[in-house]
Amino acid sequence: MTRLLRPSLMALALGAALQAPAWADGLDSLAQFAAQVRSGQASFTQVVTPPGKDGKPGAPKTQSGQFAFERPGKFRFDYQKPFAQTIVADGQTLWLYDADLNQVTRKAQAQVLGSTPAAIVSSANNLDALRKDFELKALPDAEAQQWVLATPKNPDGQIKSVRVGLKPGDKGPQLQTLDITDNFGQRSVITFGGFESNAALPAATFQFKPPAGADVLKE
């Protein structure tokens, strides 16, 4: 009887092991996201809360739109509400377009994205590459997400810290939240919905041409 039970017990143990969570902590999840998720798209909601003043908390403002990225170094934010704005990184140039002002600002991408949340999402394909610009620390799981605290190594940048929230998905970890605090005390929480990993995105997604008549500023 004992000999007959042993294979069954071993099978149960193996089944339990196979059903265990694939990632031990947020760093493992972030490593898989960087290595396995080559592109993605999602809707997003961004809540920006300025620092308080005179003992009163800052009034949050909410924006929403569509997001897409493709490694290495390409991404697009289309803000749709309450105002139309577009941010496009094509791998060489960062474009910022304000539709109300009909104004475009262009910047050399390499000079501005090293220690930003965009680098976490779209640039590095492994943790070693991320650690060149960030100190990374796993945080406790919360809100059905795994979290990593990313602190820029450059103290002179605008970003103080970024909390990255991810959750498991059929095609790899899904980006769920970027919780950003800047050095001026402003907090920006970007929540992604309907994230589609390894989406086949048209090349035009990451191309930008200034609209006719727009003022183009180069920085």
What does pTM read for this prediction?
Answer: 0.84
pLDDT band at 24 (very low <50, low <70, confident <90, very high): low
Name which residue leads in pLDDT, 34 or 15: 34
Bridge-based pairing of strands 134-142 and 74-81 is: unpaired
12 membership: H or E segment, kind and range: helix 2-19
pLDDT at 10 over 60: no
The pLDDT assigned to 42 comes to 96
Every domain of the chain and the residues it spans: 23-52+62-196
pLDDT at 105 over 60: yes
Domain range 23-52+62-196, its CATH number among 2.60.120.260, 1.10.275.10, 2.30.30.100, 2.50.20.10: 2.50.20.10
pLDDT tens, position by position, 141-199? 998 999 999 999 987 788 999 999 999 877 778 999 999 999 999 999 999 999 999 98
pLDDT tens, position by position, 132-142? 889 999 999 99
pLDDT at 16 over 70: no
